[in-house]
Amino acid sequence: MTDLCKEINKFGKGIGNEARYRIIQSLLKGHKTVSEITRIVKLSQPAVSQHLATLKSCDLVIAERSGKEVFYAVNAEYTLKLLQNLIKDMDKKPSRKR
Amino acid sequence: MTDLCKEINKFGKGIGNEARYRIIQSLLKGHKTVSEITRIVKLSQPAVSQHLATLKSCDLVIAERSGKEVFYAVNAEYTLKLLQNLIKDMDKKPSRKR
DNA sequence: ACTTCATATAAGTATATGCTAATATCTTTA
DNA sequence: TAAAGATATTAGCATATACTTATATGAAGT
């Protein structure tokens, strides 16, 4: 299993869930604290923390504490590079149609 | 939830699984029958058929019967366009770092 | 029509996932 | 260091997922 393989798989695990996808969407508009995200996605705080932990382990988000709060942001460089690599990969070996 | 949202979510569901990701990888090298895929990913035939059904419902693959066999291929145009749209989307609203 | 090969579907089951409720940890301020 | 606010972690439970085995469907040849 190539590295890209594993990375894309993580990516898929991360966004392959409605709640997490909504979290990512909200973060695309700017970094947010856990409580802000909690309000936006309308899930309990623990549920949100758990999803954020998953997203972090997938490298899709970055966390940064600022006092009592923790800001989460999309790991944009990483994600963009990943997607671009995937696209390159797919372009490179297109599936023959028949 | 935007259309792109739903599409990406489907994409994530599709590839967010090791076996399905391996199937996609093998299909990137060219279309294949179910039994070829079965040999490659080393799962039972029903398991492979079920994964292929999932991938199809996610629009990640296309199926085409040819006699007794069914060829599966990556839905490359669809997938590439989707990923490119996602990249555009992420570029458009980058997360502010702090 | 019957058989065979290829694939799909169904039922059952074990494990994974996503939530809730309760509690722990971290940080700041009094 | 005690209290309070913000977030993280844990245990428990319900549902979803990914297999297995058995069976059904589809296509081609006899």
Whether residue A20 contacts residue A54, with contact meaning beta carbons closer than 8 Å, is answered with: yes
Q: B52 CB near a chain A CB, below 8 Å?
A: no
pLDDT of residue B97: 39
Q: Is the Cβ of B4 closer than 8 Å to some Cβ of chain A?
A: no
Which among B15, B73, B90 has CB closest to A28? B90
Cβ-defined contact of A15 to B17 (cutoff 8 Å): no
Backbone angles phi, psi at B33, to 5 degrees: -80, 165
Question: A90 and B81 in contact (C-beta within 8 Å)?
Answer: no
Q: Give residue-wise pLDDT tens across range A19-76.
A: 999 999 999 999 999 999 999 999 999 999 999 999 999 999 999 999 999 999 999 9
What is the reported pLDDT for A96? Answer: 43
Structural domains in chain B plus CATH codes: 3-90 (1.10.10.10)
pLDDT tens-digit readout, A65-82: 999 999 999 999 999 999
Q: What is the mean pLDDT of chain A?
A: 90
pLDDT band with cut points at 50, 70 and 90 for residue B96: very low
pLDDT digits (tens, 9 = 90+) for A86-95: 888 777 654 4
Burial B70-81 (b: 16+ CB within 10 A, else e): ebbbbbbebbbe
What is residue B1's predicted lDDT score, i.e. its pLDDT? 61
The values of phi and psi at residue A5, to 5°, are: -45, -55
State the pTM of this model: 0.90
Q: Do B12 and A8 touch (CB under 8 A)?
A: no
